Structure 1
């Protein structure tokens, strides 16, 4: 009798295991397909490929498995989507809220860096507070206009850098790297907007170097912590030490500027603030110093949180814009007919070469071809080939695929903008497609009506800086084309091979020959 009881119990247990396995198999069969994986480790392909440079691998996997692919990185399940219709269903349709969260970066807990920033906070009260503050207090059109003098100053800095840096290629000299000029001047502008102070070049360079070192190290050297962080944090202790040192350098540079702004705000309040040509009355830091967190007894943000938010602000506005400028100007070098049509529009709107001064901001809104050039550059060469990853708050169905709770979901921005089923001659630079009658006319950049290109993302987590990014691209491209004719320099021909840094840049830097248009 006792033996029979044990047999019944063993049979029941075996049956339960079989049912559980069948349910798990059925659940996994609804996931997007992907290459074989091992428990705990994930896909075997990580033995031959780096998780930090996954795009070339993904393009092969999409050809093999279809428009959605599942990869496993250690215990993490990541889904990659290249189809614009699936992306619209997930980010704008029924999954808009469910997929509005962010996965926690493995390095956040390992390095003690806060996730209380706009790009990494989960969808909820804190995220809404931080985003509303940025949009209303810094990116609102009325606030953006306050920084028009800063953009005019940076325009002068940029043109001087292009002239003095050897970019003109006079006397047979090697032209300079245009991207370096773009990155430095955009960083000058964002530092001023962030801290309210026009710093000298050594101070800007120090902040730029610290910020860039931190970002590149986090992007390229920390992906090993996707796998068994409880173990890899001991194996790769040196990487963590380096990252902590880079973070301390950020704090050393940012905190004095934040404290200076605290003092300036206090002086304004007391009516003792002295006027200065280098100090602006408004900055992003000012708004962060005023924030209190209702869910945490109305405490103010810590210096650590403010530094991280400032880092986010500088990165979001510098690398993406400078990368966009690099690709757009490279296309204008390679397509002189497009450049001349754009120059003709600028002259018709603002006057000829004999007229001194800049292309004013209000004028760029009256140039449809300029906007078409910018849109075509963002379609063909989006600075980010992925949007920031999303995380499913609960199980969801997208196009018949299961996206389980906690899964990370990534969307292939470049693939959507280059989709040959959606765009005619997608790998050609044709700004006319965005004019009336073209296949891109009236494109919806927000993706509300459907996704055709999404360089700024779409849905609840769309980039808050879309409007100011377009303004900066239009304003600086117009002024550079008015000032110079951009040509290929012998021995430095334009090549469109890509290289992934924090954004996707030109592997061979743009080194043009610039011919002044005005005497």
Structure 2
């Protein structure tokens, strides 16, 4: 009797499974037939069930760029159940980021980003709504305005001087500098000082800084990792690959820290009946700006900003600000070491404009066109977010004679655009000079170079990121000559990429500093 019952339950489970698979297949075929009636962009023929998932490979930005050479600058892929439209030219990017920006402004949300309900509080993933507009307003008017950034620039200069002092110590000891880690630690301290008026970590690459760097990369890697739950939404409840659970662990580590800092600051504000020296020192930092707004009459009436939202905002800003800035610094130094002539030109410019022994300041950036060209060329060859954050079509949208169907995921392959031979001469070569006689910038107005995106969803931290990366790179190459570690030469210098939501150097750059000025 027990065996019969077991057999019956087994057959029942098999029957349920077959029925479920049949329903999914029928639903998929019905959806595919329905969308085929629309004039979709061209693309590779999808396989049953999995669609074009096998086309992505380990480096989707490169795989999609190759496919665009076959199918054109706008193409359609079926990634499991998700219809995805990929644009790979400046003209098509303009259609998505400007012409039809209002119809492509919302996001398709990776399942991993639903960890800790991040998508409900994050400015990067919230739909266009009063909450999202309020966060953008706070960033644009209070956190990243020219006035706010100018008020904190002395703090950033101080952090860069600490970076240079640490590099000098390593130079005297004959030790190589891990450029990415040094850049990450300095970016972390720059952000921490700007937001909280204290360092997160000292200059030396300690266990805490290295652990946080690994945590931030794990976040971006999980967000960009192919996930069955994204391609087959029915699987989201079970999180089959455990990516959302892993992301929750990493999110919680950072959110717990921000919760502690905010709670301490609120307690200090409650117990201090009058302005104290500590408060006066912190009055220009960005956390107090956020807390002041949270306590304002406007916010009390509309309830748009609370402690949880601040924690998730800080998570976004710290993760993106440290990772993309340090990654750009590392790629810039790598390209300069590979191109000694460009390094020499940048150092000559710095010596002429800044003067030997003088500190590079943010106010000097506008007088350093070759340094600016180096950063632009780095953004072109190594965009921090190669596919930008995914967008979603709110309705059927006609783009250049094709229909992007309602609900489709839309990816802008800025990596492919930045290497388009129809736009750039010698697109795979590092040539900063191409920008010296050009008015192209990275502020979302020129669609051949949009590393920060464009339209209403352009990265709000762009003004701070631009200041930080110019200041750090200019200071490092002005104060030191650099050479590769022993055993590494230009021919063996590894240029491989590590793909996640952002694009990092697969093998970290280590370089030997040689002091050029006294400090």
TM-score of the superposed pair, with normalisation by structure 1: 0.84
- How many residue pairs get aligned? The number is 481
Contact 1:190 1:314 (C-alpha < 8 Å) held by counterparts: yes
Look up the match of 1:8. Answer: none
**Matches of 2:223 and 2:38 in 1, distance apart?**
30
> Among residues 273, 277, 280, which one is paired with 2:276 in the alignment?
273
When residues 126 and 240 of structure 1 are mapped into structure 2, their CA distance, relative to the original with a 3 A threshold, is: closer
**Equivalent residue of 1:250, what SS?**
helix
Please name the residue that 1:466 is paired with.
Answer: 462
Quick one: structure 1 residues 288 and 225, their matched pair in 2 at CA, closer, same or farther if it must change by over 3 Å?
A: farther
Please give the alpha-carbon distance, in whole angstroms, between the structure 2 residues aligned to 1:21 and 1:148.
54
Pairing 1:294-373 to 2, within 5 Å after superposition: 298-299=302-303, 301-352=305-356, 355=357, 357-373=358-374
Q: Determine whether 1:103 maps to 2:108.
A: yes
Q: Of the candidates 281, 290, 314, which is equivalent to residue 288 of structure 1?
A: 290
Which residue does the alignment assign to 1:443?
440
Q: 1:220 to 1:387 in 2, by over 3 A?
A: closer
In structure 2, relative to structure 1, the CA distance for the partners of 1:451 and 1:182 (3 Å cut) is same
Q: Which residue, 155, 158, 162 being the options, matches 1:153?
A: 158
Counterparts of 1:96-175 in structure 2 under 5 Å? 96-109=101-114, 111-164=116-169, 166=170, 168=171, 175=176
TM-score by length of 2: 0.84
Aligned to 2:405: 404
C-alpha RMSD over aligned residues: 3.0
- What is the CA-CA distance between 1:410 and the residue it aligns to? 0.6
Deviation track 1:71-105 (CA, whole Å, cap 9, x = no partner) reads: 22332222111111111122212x12111111233
- Give the C-alpha shift of residue 215 in structure 1: 0.8
Q: Any gaps of 5 or more consecutive residues in structure 2?
A: 1-29
Shift of 1:261: 2.3
Structure 2 Cα separation of the partners of residues 483 and 21 of structure 1: 61
Contact 1:108 1:115 in 2 (8 A): no
CA distance in 2 between partners of 1:127 and 1:478 (Å): 35
Quick one: structure 1 residues 33 and 228, their matched pair in 2 at CA, closer, same or farther if it must change by over 3 Å? closer
Query: CA deviation digits over 1:11-42, x for unaligned, max 9?
Result: xxxxxxxxx9998365344234233143xx44
Q: Is the 8 A contact 1:100 1:390 kept in 2?
A: yes
2:77 counterpart of 1:71 = yes
d(CA) in 2 for partners of 1:464, 1:22: 37
**Given that residues 194 and 313 in structure 1 are in contact (C-alpha distance below 8 angstroms), is that contact kept between their aligned partners in structure 2?**
no
Q: CA deviation at 1:183?
A: 1.0
Task: Please list every run of 5 or more consecutive structure 1 residues that lacks an aligned counterpart in the other structure.
Answer: 1-19
Q: Distance in 1 between matches of 2:503 and 2:111?
A: 23
Larger relative CO (CA 8 A, sep 6+): 1 or 2? 2
Query: Matches of 2:432 and 2:251 in 1, distance apart?
Result: 42
